[in-house]
């Protein structure tokens, strides 16, 4: 059955037709054989019956005249019919009158009138016929003939031969015809199958199956076409919806980009232009400060100190604002060796590192695609933070490491500084977010926001792990697939 399941419909059809024809022809043959045997037997019995009748009629005179020799003579004439094995004539009292035996061995006939001999009997392929001799309506005796069934076996074998050749012939013809006609069905199924394959492989749902005949396959094809109609309709509406969505996303993106650009432009211009008047204030207050030195007239010096501090703080704020607004402007991504970045930074920050008695360790940093200026700025911010927020007791130790996975590089900048309380973990990346007073740790609160923006520009993330008063590790990732639309980077 397992084999049957997997053979093609074409072969299944042929097989089914062959089995059907085989069974049909076999039944026919069997019926024919039985019928023929029956007919043959009947004719044989009838033939023997008429012989018995002839013998009976001829035996009337010998019986009437009690001439046993004549009766025997009549029986002996049966020699010409070799199928008759034994024959006997009985008188009206049932006494044997004459008997003939082909093989000289006398056959013991049952007494006349016994039921057993009424009909032809085919046991042992022999049979008997009985004829009652009548003369003018009066019973005068009985004839019994015992005959063998002539060549029954040969006839039977012949029948089997004929039947099997008919069977074979029928099967052959059935095979040829079914092999030919099954094509009419299987070809259409195959056509439907190929069409389905074609549609699934090309995804072209505008394809249709041509329908020629409205049988089951035709209905199937029609429904298949209907299904394709629906899929196509769905596909089209999906396409429309997609296009619509894409259009809207595009619009929204353009809008966002525009407003982002405007915002950055604003920040840039504002901070740039704010600097100028501030510088003038600072310049001239500086001059005044010199004119009214410490210990001079009234409290001028002190007031100028306040003004100078305030302007210098504002200048720093504006400078940092300008910095953050410039992230992503004219950015260029290229291959960058991070080891070189750190070496450069260590040279640039040498004074600050030495002043703080700090050590910076790094090993095996990767070479990757990034914006060198921006990446350098991230490291610079993180290192100077580590120096700024050092533990009061102990010298700063900064360790820079990197890991690589399939999609990104992850950098770690670890320090042994004052640490950050967990509740501040996310706050610190907000612009202008400061956790300390300006006198404690001076700064504008823009450095980490700038780092976050730069990392986002590299399709990455920035986060920390920190233990308060023990140290902080800053993590940031740089994607290997930088696609970021610069203006949406925040």
Beta-bridged to residue 359, according to DSSP, are 397
By C-beta, is 323 or 415 nearer to another protein? 323
Q: How far is the CB of 273 from another protein (least distance, A)?
A: 9
Residues in the chain, overall count? 490
Beta strands in 25-117 (DSSP E): 84-91, 96-101
| Sole window of 67-75, 158-166, 250-258, 320-328 interacting with another protein (rule: CB under 8 A) | 320-328
Q: Which is nearer to another protein, 73 or 275 (CB)?
A: 275
Among 25, 145, 311, 323, binds another protein (CB under 8 A): 323
Q: Is 330 left (phi over 0), alpha (psi -120 to 50) or beta?
A: left
DSSP 8-state class, residue 47: H
Q: Are 143 and 66 in contact (CB under 8 A)?
A: no
Stretch that binds another protein, among 174-182, 228-236, 319-327, 465-473 (CB under 8 A): 319-327
Among 74, 84, 120, 322, binds another protein (CB under 8 A): 322
**What is the distance, to the nearest Å, from the Cα of residue 306 to the centroid of all Cα atoms in its chain?**
76
Going by DSSP bridges, is the β-strand pair 397-404/359-362 parallel, antiparallel, or unpaired? parallel
* Number of residues forming the site for another protein (CB under 8 A): 15
Among 146, 326, 390, 453, binds another protein (CB under 8 A): 326
To another protein, the closest distance from the beta carbon of 288 in angstroms equals 11
- What are the structure tokens assigned to 403, written together? 């890991």
Please identify, using beta-carbon distances, which residue of 120 and 321 lies nearer to another protein.
321
Rounded CA gap, 167 and 149, in Å? 27
Determine contact, residues 147/129, Cβ cutoff 8 Å.
Answer: yes
- The strands making up 138-148's β-sheet, listed across from edge to edge, are 96-101, 84-91, 138-148, 126-135
Rounded to whole angstroms, the Cα distance separating 466 from 424 reads 10
**Per CB under 8 A, 423 contacts another protein:** no
Residue 287 interacting with another protein (CB under 8 A)? yes
User: Residue 420 Cβ, how far from another protein at the closest point, in Å?
Assistant: 29
Cβ closer to another protein: 245 or 287?
A: 287
Measuring CA to CA, how many Å separate 126 from each of 77, 277, 476?
20, 144, 112
d(CA 85, CA 103): 7
| Binding span for another protein by CB under 8 A among 63-71, 239-247, 280-288, 334-342 | 280-288
DSSP class of residue 123? G
Residue found under tokens 């993590």: 475
148 vs 272 by CB, closer to another protein:
272
Q: Does 279 bind another protein (CB under 8 A)?
A: yes
What's the token pair of residue 435?
């956790």
* Candidates 17-25, 117-125, 180-188, 316-324; binding stretch for another protein (CB under 8 A): 316-324
DSSP 4-29: HHHS-HHHHHHHHHHHHHHHHHHHHH
Nearest approach in angstroms of CB 272 to another protein is 7
Asked if 373 touches another protein (CB under 8 A), the answer is yes
Residue 269 is a binding residue for another protein (CB under 8 A): no
**Which residues within the stretch 86-125 sit at the binding site for another protein (CB under 8 A)?**
none
Closest contact distance (angstroms) between CB of 322 and another protein is: 6
Cβ distance to another protein smaller for residue 187 or 290: 290
Looking at residue 431, what DSSP letter applies? Answer: T
Given 49, 190, 225, 275, the residue binding another protein (CB under 8 A)? 275
- Other C-beta atoms closer than 10 Å to the C-beta of 166 total 15
Options 128-136, 269-277, 410-418, 462-470: segment touching another protein (CB under 8 A):
269-277
For residues 452 and 474, give the distance between their C-alpha atoms in angstroms, rounded to a whole number: 11
Q: In this complex, which beta carbon is closest to another protein, that of residue 218 or of residue 286?
A: 286
Residue pair 374/331 in contact by the 8 Å Cβ criterion: yes
283 binds another protein (CB under 8 A): yes
- Does 272 bind another protein (CB under 8 A)? Our answer is yes
Assess 454 for contact with another protein (CB under 8 A).
no
Cα 21–chain centre separation: 40
Binds another protein by CB under 8 A, chosen from 2, 154, 216, 276 = 276
284 touching another protein, by CB under 8 A: yes
List all residues 6 or more positions away from 220 whose beta carbon is below 8 Å from its beta carbon: 192
Q: Map residue 40 onto helix, strand or coil.
A: helix
Interface mask (CB under 8 A) for another protein, residues 330-359, using x and -?
x-----------------------------
Q: Which residues bind another protein (CB under 8 A)?
A: 272, 275-276, 279-280, 282-284, 287, 319, 322-323, 326, 330, 373
């Amino acid at each position: 059955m397992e084999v049957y399941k997997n053979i093609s419909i074409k072969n299944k059809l042929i097989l089914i037709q062959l089995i059907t024809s085989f069974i049909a022809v076999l039944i026919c043959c069997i019926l024919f054989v039985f019928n023929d045997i029956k007919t043959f037997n009947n004719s044989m019995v009838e033939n023997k019956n008429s012989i018995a009748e002839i013998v009976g009629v001829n035996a009337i005179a010998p019986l009437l005249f009690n001439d046993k020799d004549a009766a025997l003579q009549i029986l002996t004439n049966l020699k010409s019919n070799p199928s008759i094995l034994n024959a006997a004539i009985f008188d009206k009292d049932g006494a044997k009158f004459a008997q003939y035996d082909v093989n000289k061995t006398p056959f013991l006939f049952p007494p006349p009138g016994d039921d057993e001999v009424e009909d032809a009997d085919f046991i042992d392929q022999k049979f008997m016929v009985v004829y009652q001799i009548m003369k003018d309506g009066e019973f005068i005796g009985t004839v019994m003939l015992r005959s063998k069934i002539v060549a029954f076996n040969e006839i039977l074998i012949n029948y089997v031969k004929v039947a099997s050749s008919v069977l074979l012939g029928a099967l052959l013809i059935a095979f040829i015809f079914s092999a030919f006609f099954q094509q009419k069905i299987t070809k259409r199924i195959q056509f439907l199958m190929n069409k389905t394959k074609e549609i699934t492989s090309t995804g072209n749902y505008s394809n249709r199956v041509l329908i020629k005949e409205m049988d089951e396959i035709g209905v199937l094809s029609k429904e298949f076409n209907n299904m394709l109609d629906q899929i196509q309709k769905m596909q089209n509406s999906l396409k429309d919806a997609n296009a619509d969505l894409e259009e809207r996303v595009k619009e929204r993106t353009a809008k966002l980009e525009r407003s982002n650009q405007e915002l950055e432009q604003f920040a840039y211009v504002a901070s740039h232009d704010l600097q100028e008047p501030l510088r003038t204030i600072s310049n001239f207050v500086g001059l005044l400060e010199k004119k009214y030195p410490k210990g001079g007239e009234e409290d001028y010096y002190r007031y100028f100190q306040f003004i100078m501090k305030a302007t210098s703080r504002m200048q720093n704020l504006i400078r940092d604002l300008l910095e953050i607004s410039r992230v992503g402007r004219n950015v260029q991504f290229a291959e960058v060796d991070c080891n070189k970045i750190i070496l450069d930074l260590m040279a640039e920050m040498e004074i600050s590192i030495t002043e703080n008695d700090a050590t910076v360790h790094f090993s095996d940093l990767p070479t990757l695609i990034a914006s060198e200026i921006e990446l350098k700025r991230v490291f610079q911010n993180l290192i100077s933070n580590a120096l700024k927020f050092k533990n009061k007791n102990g010298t700063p130790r900064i360790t820079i490491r990197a890991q690589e996975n399939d999609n990104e590089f992850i950098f770690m900048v670890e320090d042994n500084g004052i640490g950050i309380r967990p509740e501040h973990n996310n706050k610190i990346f907000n612009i202008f977010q400061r956790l300390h007073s300006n006198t404690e740790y001076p700064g504008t609160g823009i450095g980490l926001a700038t780092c976050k923006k730069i990392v986002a520009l590299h399709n990455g993330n920035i986060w920390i792990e920190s233990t308060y008063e023990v140290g902080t590790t800053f993590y940031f990732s740089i994607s290997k697939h930088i696609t970021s639309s610069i203006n949406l980077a925040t």
